[in-house]
Amino acid sequence: MNARDKQIATDLSYEIIREVSRAIRPYVGKPESAEKVKIGADGTPTSLIDIIAEEKIINILKNAPVLSYIVSEEIGELKLGKGTKRSIVLTHELRRQDLEEDEIPKFIFLIDPVDGTNNAIKEIPAFGISVAVANVCQGRLSTLNDVELGFISSFANGNFFEAEKGKGCWLNNKEVKPSDIINISDMTLGGFTKSGTSQASKLVDNARRMRVLGSVVLELSYVASGRYDAFLDLRGSRIIDIAASKLILEEAGCIITNKYGQKLNNPLSIYEKTIVVAANNKILHKQMIDILNDNQTDFIGKVGVISRIDQTRPIIFSAKIIDYLLTNGREVCIENRLAHKLTELKENPELNKIIENTKVDYPEIAHLLDDVNFNIDFKQLAEPVFDFDCDMAVILGGDGTLLRAQGKMKPEIPIFGINMGTVGFLTEIEAKHTFEALDEILKGNYYKEKRTRLVVSHENNQFTAMNEVVVMTDKPAKMLHFEIQVDGETIEEVRADGLIISTPSGSTAYAMSAGGPIVDPKVAGFIIIPICPYKLGARPFVVSDNSEITVKQLKKGKTAVFVMDGQISEEAEYEEEIKFKKYDKDAYFIRTSTKYFYEKVKDKLKEGGINPSPRCNNE
Q: How far apart are CA 59 and CA 16, in angstroms?
A: 10
Element holding 211 (H helix, E strand): strand 209-211
Q: Output the 3-class SS for 279-299.
A: ECCHHHHHHHHHHHCCCCCCC
Query: 180 and 228 in one domain?
Result: yes
Query: 370 and 283 in one domain?
Result: no
Alpha carbon separation from 341 to 315, 324, 330, 369, 431 (Å, rounded): 7, 19, 22, 17, 20
Q: Which amino acid, one-letter code, is at 456?
A: V
More confident residue, 187 or 76: 187
Give yes or no for residue 607 having a pLDDT over 60: no
DSSP of 243-261, one letter per residue? HHHHHHHHHTT-EEE-TTS
Query: 520 and 420 in one domain?
Result: no
Q: How far apart are CA 365 and CA 320, in angstroms?
A: 11
Q: Count helices and strands (H / E) in the chain.
A: 15, 36
Domain final residue pick, 270, 295, 320: 295
Query: 359 and 279 in one domain?
Result: no
Q: How confident is the model at residue 60 (pLDDT cuts 50, 70, 90)?
A: very high
More confident residue, 200 or 282: 282
Q: How far apart are CA 222 and CA 127, in angstroms?
A: 13
Q: What is the mean pLDDT of the chain?
A: 89
Query: 496 and 440 in one domain?
Result: no
Q: Is residue 216 part of a domain?
A: yes
Q: How far apart are CA 597 and CA 575, in angstroms?
A: 39
User: Does residue 233 have an active-site annotation?
Assistant: no
Q: How far apart are CA 225 and CA 416, in angstroms?
A: 40
Query: 278 and 309 in one domain?
Result: no
Query: 260 and 135 in one domain?
Result: yes
Query: Whole-angstrom distance between the N-terminal and C-terminal Cα of the chain?
Result: 5
Question: Tell me: the pLDDT tens digits for 221-250?
Answer: 999 999 999 999 988 899 999 999 999 999
Q: Is residue 611 part of a domain?
A: no
Element holding 232 (H helix, E strand): strand 230-238
SS3 of the chain: helix, strand, coil, percent, to 5? 30, 30, 35
124 C-beta neighbours (distance < 10 Å), count: 16
Give yes or no for residue 614 having a pLDDT over 60: no
Say what the pLDDT of residue 336 is.
96
Say what the pLDDT of residue 276 is.
94
Domain final residue pick, 295, 310, 333: 295
Say what the pLDDT of residue 609 is.
36
Output the domain CATH number for residue 527: 2.60.200.30
Query: 373 and 306 in one domain?
Result: yes
Give yes or no for residue 610 having a pLDDT over 70: no
DSSP 8-state class, residue 311:
S
Strands (E), 313-422: 331-335, 382-383, 392-397, 415-419
Output the domain CATH number for residue 138: 3.30.540.10
Q: Is residue 594 part of a domain?
A: no
Q: Is residue 61 part of a domain?
A: yes
Say what the pLDDT of residue 555 is.
84
Give yes or no for residue 37 having a pLDDT over 70: no
Q: Which amino acid, one-letter code, is at 561?
A: V
> Which of 399, 497, 545, 584 is flagged as catalytic?
399
299 C-beta neighbours (distance < 10 Å), count: 7
Give yes or no for residue 598 having a pLDDT over 90: no
Give yes or no for residue 406 having a pLDDT over 60: yes
Q: How confident is the model at residue 594 (pLDDT cuts 50, 70, 90)?
A: low
Cβ density class 366-396: b for 16+ within 10 Å, e for less: eebbeebebebebeebbbebeebebbbbbbb
Structural domain including 382 reads: 302-445
Q: Which residues contact 265 (CB under 8 A, 6 or more apart)?
A: 143, 144, 145
Query: 518 and 467 in one domain?
Result: yes
Say what the pLDDT of residue 611 is.
40
More confident residue, 592 or 320: 320
Q: Is residue 104 part of a domain?
A: yes
Mapped onto helix, strand or coil, the DSSP state of residue 542 is strand
Query: 483 and 581 in one domain?
Result: yes
Q: Is residue 595 part of a domain?
A: no
Q: How far apart are CA 442 and CA 330, in angstroms?
A: 9
Greatest mean pLDDT among 27-36, 66-75, 206-215, 389-398 lies in 389-398
Q: Is residue 553 part of a domain?
A: yes
Angle at 35 between CA 30 and CA 38, to 5 degrees: 145
Say what the pLDDT of residue 596 is.
63
Query: 235 and 170 in one domain?
Result: yes
Q: How confident is the model at residue 619 (pLDDT cuts 50, 70, 90)?
A: very low
Say what the pLDDT of residue 615 is.
45
Mean pLDDT for 551-564 is 91
Query: 321 and 275 in one domain?
Result: no
- Strands 230-238, 188-192: pairing is parallel
Output the domain CATH number for residue 356: 3.40.50.10330
Q: How far apart are CA 191 and CA 279, in angstroms?
A: 12
Phi first, then psi, for residue 495 (nearest 5°) are -95, 130
Q: Is residue 20 part of a domain?
A: yes
Domain count, the chain: 3
Mean pLDDT for 556-572 is 91
Give yes or no for residue 497 having a pLDDT over 70: yes
Q: How far apart are CA 310 and CA 587, in angstroms?
A: 25
Mean pLDDT for 92-102 is 83
Domain final residue pick, 280, 295, 310: 295
pTM of the model: 0.61
